[in-house]
Amino acid sequence: MAALLTVAGLLLPDAASAQQADGERLFRQRCGTCHAMEAGQNRAGPHLSGIIGRTAGSVEGARYSAAMRESGVVWDRQALDTFLTSPRQMVRGTTMTVSIPNAEQRAAIITYLEGVGAQ
């Protein structure tokens, strides 16, 4: 019964918001030390407000590697997924070395970033 309820839960339309809640928790644990979601608040890494559609290395006042500034990447879901899988493989010379090997966790984090950016 519990398993059935779990499956039903995944099929409900609000599954995306559940994933976003999960993404928020993961973001706080894995990204929040270095990244804020508020525009203008740069930590070790740039703020990630409005990251979807943003050109890589473009936040004023953030500390970027030359590799990131010159990457020519525009962040969308696919680019973020590739980056978070293995940052240094996608942007050779980046100073961000944190990766998220788990595809579901990556998807949850990206959904969270997307949701916050759209608010």
Binding stretches for ligand HEC (CB under 6 A): 30-31, 33-35, 44-46, 48, 51, 56-57, 59, 64-65, 67-68, 75, 80, 84, 94-96, 98, 100, 109
CB of 29 to ligand HEC, least distance (A): 9
Among candidates 76, 70, 80, which has minimal Cα distance to 27?
80
Place of tokens 């990131």: 68
Return the number of the residue (9 or 58) whose C-beta is nearest ligand HEC.
Answer: 58
Return the number of the residue (18 or 30) whose C-beta is nearest ligand HEC.
Answer: 30
Two tokens at 11?
């099929």
CB of 3 to ligand HEC, least distance (A): 30
Return the number of the residue (18 or 117) whose C-beta is nearest ligand HEC.
Answer: 117
- Name the residue type at position 36: A
Phi/psi for 86 (5° steps) reads -160, 85
Residues 52, 49: Cα–Cα separation, whole Å: 8
CB of 20 to ligand HEC, least distance (A): 14
How far is residue 111 CA from its own chain's centroid? Answer: 8
Return the number of the residue (22 or 65) whose C-beta is nearest ligand HEC.
Answer: 65
- Name the residue type at position 1: M
